[in-house]
Structure 1
Amino acid sequence: MDESLIPNIVDFIGQIDPFDQLSGDVLKDVASCISITYLGRGEQIQFSDDSSEKYLYIIRTGSMEQRKPDGVLRSKMGPEDLFGFTFLEPLKNILDGYTATAIENTLLYLIPHSKLLKLTAQHQQFSESISSAAQLRLRSALNVVWSNKEKGLFLKKVSEVASGHAAVVDIDMSIQDVAKEMRDTCRTSTAVIKKDANIVGLITDRDMTKRVIADGLDISLPIHTVMTTPAITIGPDDLILKAASLMMQSGIRSLPVVRGNEVLGLLTSSHLVQKHRMQAIFLIEKIKYTETAAGLAELTSERQAIFEALVDGKVSAEIIGQVMSMIMDAYNRRLIQMAEEQFGAPPCDYNWVVAGSHARNEIHMLSDQDSAIIMDDSATEEDKVYFIKLSEFVNQGLDGCGYPTCTGHYMASNPKWCQTLSVWKQFYRKWVNNPQYGMLMNVSVFLEVRSLHGNASFSAELQQHLHQLIAQDHQFLHSLVTDAVRVQPPLGIFNKLVVEKSGNNTKVLNIKKYALNLIVDLARIYGLAVGCAESGTRHRFEYAVSQKLLHEDDFKDIIEAFYFVTQVRYNHQLSALRQGQKPNNHMEPSSISSFERKHLKDAFRIISNLQDAAKLRFSGN
């Protein structure tokens, strides 16, 4: 090993789990034993049971895929991924070996297993990590324990952690001038490219190496010839957890932090200390590399364990909803990718959208599926058949992963909800112009949609169309309010009864029907009234405050009520899971603590007051 290479190798492996657990001196010792090899595209490493030295492989650059002897794909790997764990285990556990193939030019670091065996004997925590990786690569989350450090980092907002700077350049600047701007002026690895004040793309120093230097490209060409588009960015109020997941999903090391088209800073992988990775990120990474729907279904217990850890760890209700939504997003996207691989490339442009609690990023253990497909207006009936097959695969796959199919069939696999953009616009016009009960049932589901996969401009255009329709017909909001206040929160909980305003006291509290749904309905009404583009409950109320439609004090009251009631439901679901029961929304008064009873009564009062205010504000007069 060339001694001059060791510092660079130490810096690289020192950021990778589980080597980040080792001291600097131990890392140097490991680096000195590493050999380096280069594989051209298509070259292979054959793993088999023989007496020769085995290695743990670390991908420095490039990508590999592993296949079993029968040709079945075992996994795909990129930079910082490790493989070769299998041969740390007793040979009796080896089945028939596998083959690793470079799917692009790849640089590998090789660590002899004999060296790893010495490390495992000397460092117990490292040994446990290596052992778990040899079994599953990632430890099961069933016994997940959340440390304060993990909560402190990954559950912080991006704005609290990001400190880097990104260059901001014009789309017509030359490649050379952009490189100089990045190196000399801003001293950054990333440039954000704008056209007429709008962000249109990104370029990094790694992109420059791969797309310009490696291909001998003329550096006087405009930067847009080599930029990455669309630009992948993160918002300042997003969770670090979301940023880390996005980096892994996209295979990138930096994210510009933007609000609108304003570049606020840069979040890099160095901000994300590898040893603080959370189980939620591990699960998302597993989902990304799982090759079958059945394989995804096997991860369900880990999803439940993460939910239990979040609730048990007293993480805020808002963040629990976001984390669980990210996990459902990962399942959904992976199943769509599998479906496209199975049925072939989509015959036309389309947008897979989610609705309901999924669209609002408020997923919990009872959340079912609400989805739809918006096809390009050029789609034919034959194209629709393709998308129905794709949707059936995805919806059934999600059901197998613990996300039940919608009892009302508001799913993309229902031909009614797989339509062209023009037909969707006709639906919305019909619903807004005829706000009778049946129409309101349909529109209430699709009044909040979020793009998950495909051409996001379709759902954005549809949402803009909806806001225009509502602005032209104020009677629609009045109809929504009338429908929303048909159900009112109970007066309170007394002894063994839930005391309802109607006088029909019940023995259980349906916390979804009589509290959470009412708050969601109110947020939807206030958000639509001001044309809010966001679908989340908090965002809708906040935007209504910014537009002077809702008083700041009323917002604070209702959002605190929302999160408290949500937390009560989470605790109720957790209790059921711990007892081996199926979670539900029905709470017996005897199971509600005096603390919860007291604050639920306050929450019911706040909901009722805002219902009354909405009736007055949107009376239609």
Structure 2
Amino acid sequence: MEPMKYADIEPDLEGIRYAASREQLRNKRQEYQGQLERLYTVLPIAEWTSLVNDMHDDVAARAAMICEYELDAAGYGPPPVPYAFVVFGSSGRRESTLWSDQDNGLILSNEAHEDKEMYFHAFGRHLSNLLEYLGYEKCKGKVMCSEPLWRKTLEDWQRQMTCWHQDFSWEPVRSLMIASDMRFIAGDRTLASAWRHFFEQSLHESPEMNTAILRNTVRHKATLNILGQVVTERFGEHAGDFDVKYGVYIPLVNSIRYMALQEGISETSTLKRLERLTLLDGGNMLFENCQRAFLTALTLRAAASFTVKDGVYSSSGFLPQSELKKKPLLYKLRDSLTTVRRTHRALQRRLRFAERGRP
């Protein structure tokens, strides 16, 4: 049987791109989602993940347009000034699973308008609620356009990023790391481009911030014990299961992001960051190992069980202990975790060197 290609299901995205109402958009998302579930065992994981994120991008872009229509019908009128709807997190990296939650924000024009604050306060809340209706769980960390921290004018965003750069404590550095994965979805692209330009210009102005980012990067839970055995959850409802997200996926994302940012790589995709890093240092086997480990992490994340409640998709992100008994899978996981540990140790050495050089 000939392998399926992008073209086999690409036409169905037209239904998402031109959905006339929230109900139609939700139905088309669910329809396309069902096709993607069936394709998981057919396509290579990188291609499948790309298709999944094509769907999320188109749903989000259409949701922003429907949000404008609905607010206009409710008496708010059209947007008073240009805006850019952007995404962060796994969406920013185009690594979302079928059930990833919301990670988004708004960049508003600096143009003055008396209704700007009122309109975009309503727009942010309405869009976040609309995305929940469409199946996207709200972010527990509140990285959403409904929150003032992630909904600002371009000038206010620039001030916010400057403040983050001056505070080396955990939370501001974490926010800066989240922001580094920003990607444009809908609206005025020039606002997102200006945002990105300011972010990249200011990133390396403080060596202390680079060290703070590295300090945040090397903090993650143990995944292999001294005997090389996979460390699973000890307590709670997931006792005996393996935490794919924080055990293997996030450590790789964070490590590769740090290395890419140090080289001035503007890509947000982890795989594209690895491609660029490999071009810069083709003799480094670490990047080849990281790519293999990362593809395994994507596969395991996509295979995690999920639930649908009131049309909202969610997943624990854990690999059941029953799956860990399958030797081929266990070997792949252990190989990936060995790469995570080696990468982690290399960055720990870099951190010790950086901290020794501090005054």
Q: Distance in 1 between matches of 2:314 and 2:154?
A: 39
**CA positional deviation for 1:511:** 0.6
Is the aligned partner of 1:561 residue 2:293?
yes
Q: Give the one of 278, 283, 289 matched to 2:8.
A: 278
Q: Distance in 2 between matches of 1:341 and 1:412?
A: 18
Q: Distance in 2 between matches of 1:373 and 1:582?
A: 24
1:303 matched to which residue of 2? Answer: 32
Maintained 8 Å contact 2:101/2:137: yes
Q: Distance in 1 between matches of 2:172 and 2:230?
A: 32
Q: Distance in 2 between matches of 1:278 and 1:489?
A: 42
The structure carrying a bigger strand percent of its residues is 1
Change (3 A) 1:501 1:611: farther
Q: Give the one of 36, 47, 55 matched to 1:327.
A: 55
Change (3 A) 1:493 1:568: farther
Q: Give the one of 468, 474, 477 matched to 2:207.
A: 474
- 5 Å-filtered alignment, 1:93-492, equals 148=2, 150-151=4-5, 154=6, 277-282=7-12, 284-313=13-42, 315-342=43-70, 343=72, 344-380=77-113, 382-491=115-224
Q: Counterpart of 1:555 in structure 2: which amino acid?
A: F
What secondary structure does 1:351 align onto? strand
**CA positional deviation for 1:392:** 2.3
Identical-residue share of aligned pairs (%): 21
1:615 matched to which residue of 2? Answer: 348
Q: Larger radius of gyration, structure 1 or 2?
A: 1
- 5 Å-filtered alignment, 1:589-608, equals 589-592=321-324, 593-608=326-341
Change (3 A) 1:295 1:542: same
Q: Distance in 1 between matches of 2:139 and 2:233?
A: 30
Change (3 A) 1:476 1:409: same
Give the TM-score normalised by the residue count of structure 2. Answer: 0.86
Change (3 A) 1:489 1:375: same
Q: Distance in 1 between matches of 2:146 and 2:114?
A: 15
Q: Counterpart of 1:281 in structure 2: which amino acid?
A: P
1:584 matched to which residue of 2? Answer: 316
Number of aligned residue pairs: give it.
340
**CA positional deviation for 1:501:** 12
**CA positional deviation for 1:286:** 1.0
Q: Distance in 2 between matches of 1:587 and 1:501?
A: 10
1:185 matched to which residue of 2? Answer: none
Maintained 8 Å contact 1:353/1:453: yes
Q: Distance in 1 between matches of 2:204 and 2:233?
A: 34
Q: Counterpart of 1:516 in structure 2: which amino acid?
A: Y
Give the TM-score normalised by the residue count of structure 1. Answer: 0.51
* Structure 2 gaps, min length 5: none
Maintained 8 Å contact 1:325/1:362: yes
Q: Counterpart of 1:557 in structure 2: which amino acid?
A: N
Q: Counterpart of 1:279 in structure 2: which amino acid?
A: I
Q: Counterpart of 1:308 in structure 2: which amino acid?
A: E
Report the RMSD for the aligned CA atoms in angstroms: 2.7
Change (3 A) 1:472 1:551: farther
Q: Distance in 1 between matches of 2:262 and 2:233?
A: 28
1:539 matched to which residue of 2? Answer: 272
Change (3 A) 1:493 1:454: farther
Q: Distance in 2 between matches of 1:484 and 1:379?
A: 39
Q: Deviations over 1:485-525 (max 9, x none)?
A: 2214411699xx943799xx952211101110011101211
What secondary structure does 2:174 align onto? helix
Q: Deviations over 1:319-376 (max 9, x none)?
A: 2221111111111111111222232332112211111111111120231111111111
What secondary structure does 2:99 align onto? coil
